Each structure stands twice: as structure tokens, then as C-alpha cells.
């Protein structure tokens, strides 16, 4: 059951929704999934069936066992390239991520490929994941859609993935509460990477990862 709960969390991440939204989608009471995930307890088979029925593009075999491809036939929201500089979302090189996070116009216009992504109208930019620290949720080469978060009155949705511009460069990590109000805990999905604390003052810009897409 632990594997199923882990995969349910991954499914929600891929869909860009919260566990509460997933519960609502499948007709479950608030807390049915979130409590099970938090406590590692079993959920009824009817909720697993409801997830499979509501998200048919996800493989039932993957959901139940973790085996095989997560997405049937590689089905992900599709991004279509456009030549119109006033249309679509820029795909930002990782080296220019700091400027993209702050909304620097010269970066957003700097010879970036642009893509129309109907599934993520609220996205400000696209970026390619580097490294394996966020496996299995995101693997190196995945393209994620990101939405900038204002630094004024900054608050985080705990356990959601974010792109952060930090003193050590841009990183994509999950954010959890730190040991005090001056820090956040930076967590990788890959268990081989230890979590670490980061002072708020070392966070220069923030974007929420709202989903993963496929380029066309």
C-alpha cells in the first residue's frame, strides 16, 4: 500500500493539483487520501478504482505496483512551438533561470523558443529539469511549467515543488517548514539526497512548478 500512496502523490504532482483537489475529483471526503499518505495507512479499493477511472491516461499497473510506464503512451499536456514573440511561454535555458524567476524582460525575450501550452495558461516560463535529485517525480530532461511567486509577503504551499534562485544558483526542490521562521527545509524526492535548511534571506526569487509537459 505504501507504494500506491507514493504513486498517488506523484500522480497529483504530475497533474499539478493538491491531494485535497484529487480527493474532491474522485468524490472522497476531505482527508481520505491525505491522512493515509501522512500516516502510511490503507485506503479502500474503491478510491483506487476512482483514481484509475478519473485519470485514464495514467497506467493502472504503474499506480498499483510502480512497474511500467506511468503515462499510457507517454500522454502528457502538449506544448506547440510558436514563432510569434507575443504568444506562448518562453523555454528558458537553465543558465538564465535567475532572470526568468525575477521576470527580467531581456531574459524572457532572449532568443528563447516559445510554446503555446493550453493546459497551463497561468505559467510564466518553461524550464528543463537537470539532474536526478527529484526522481521519480521529475527526471533529467523533463520540461516543467512554472509560475512566478511574488517575493512580497512570500509564503510556501508546504511540500509543493518550487524553483528557487539561491546563493548557490537555481534549484528545483520540494519545500517544507524549517526549524524556525527564518528557514525552510529543502527536500529532494530522490531519497539519496539529504534534506537541508535554507535561510529565507538566501532565497532571491521563487516559482511554483505547476506541471510537466511534452514539447511538440
Residue 107 pLDDT greater than 60, yes or no: no
What is the CA angle 157-89-75, rounded to 5? Answer: 75
Confidence of residue 108 (pLDDT cuts 50, 70, 90): low
pTM: 0.64
- Please give the CATH topology (third level) of the domain spanning 2-74: 434 Repressor (Amino-terminal Domain) (1.10.260)
Asked if the domains 2-74 and 78-215 are classified in one and the same CATH topology, the answer is no
Residue 179 pLDDT greater than 60, yes or no: yes
Question: Is the Cβ–Cβ distance between 58 and 72 less than 8 Å?
Answer: yes
Residue 79 pLDDT greater than 70, yes or no: yes
Percent of the chain topping pLDDT 90:
36
Average pLDDT over residues 27-46: 91
Residue 182 pLDDT greater than 80, yes or no: yes
Beta bridge partners of 173: 162
Query: Which residue would you say has higher pLDDT here, 174 or 214?
Result: 174
What are the residue ranges spanned by the domains of the chain?
A: 2-74, 78-215
For 52-95, the DSSP string reads: HHH-TTB-HHHHHHS-S-SBGGG---EEEEE--TTSSEEEE-GG
C-alpha cell at 185: 527545509
Q: Which of 117, 201, 115, 211 is nearest to 163 (CA)?
A: 211
Specify the pLDDT at position 90.
Answer: 87
Percent of the chain topping pLDDT 70:
88
Residue 204 pLDDT greater than 70, yes or no: yes
Residue 71 pLDDT greater than 70, yes or no: yes
> What mean pLDDT, rounded, does the chain reach?
85
Domain 78-215 sits in CATH 1.10.3720.10: no
pLDDT in tens, 124-169: 889 988 888 998 788 888 889 999 999 988 889 998 999 999 988 8
Residue 111 pLDDT greater than 80, yes or no: no
Confidence of residue 32 (pLDDT cuts 50, 70, 90): very high
Specify the pLDDT at position 99.
Answer: 60
Residue 198 pLDDT greater than 90, yes or no: yes
Amino acid at each position: 500500500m505504501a507504494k500506491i500512496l507514493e504513486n498517488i502523490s506523484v500522480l497529483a504532482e504530475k497533474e499539478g493539483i493538491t491531494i485535497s483537489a484529487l480527493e474532491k475529483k474522485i468524490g472522497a471526503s476531505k482527508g481520505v487520501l491525505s491522512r493515509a499518505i501522512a500516516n502510511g495507512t490503507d485506503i479502500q479499493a474503491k478510491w483506487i478504482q476512482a483514481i484509475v477511472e478519473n485519470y485514464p491516461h495514467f497506467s493502472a499497473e504503474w499506480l498499483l505496483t510502480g512497474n511500467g510506464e506511468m503515462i499510457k503512451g507517454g500522454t502528457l499536456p502538449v506544448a506547440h512551438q510558436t514563432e510569434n514573440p507575443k504568444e506562448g511561454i518562453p523555454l528558458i535555458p537553465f543558465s538564465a533561470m535567475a532572470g526568468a524567476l525575477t521576470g527580467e524582460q531581456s531574459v524572457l525575450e532572449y532568443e528563447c523558443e516559445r510554446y503555446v501550452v493550453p493546459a497551463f495558461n497561468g505559467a510564466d516560463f518553461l524550464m528543463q529539469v537537470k539532474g536526478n535529485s527529484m526522481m521519480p517525480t521529475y527526471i533529467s530532461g523533463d520540461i516543467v511549467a512554472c509560475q512566478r511567486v511574488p517575493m512580497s509577503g512570500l509564503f510556501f504551499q508546504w511540500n509543493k515543488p518550487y524553483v528557487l534562485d539561491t546563493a548557490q544558483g537555481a534549484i528545483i526542490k520540494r519545500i517544507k517548514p524549517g526549524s524556525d521562521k527564518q528557514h525552510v527545509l529543502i527536500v529532494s524526492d530522490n531519497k539519496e539526497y539529504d534534506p537541508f535548511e535554507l535561510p529565507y534571506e538566501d532565497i532571491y526569487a521563487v516559482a511554483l512548478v505547476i506541471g510537466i509537459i511534452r514539447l511538440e
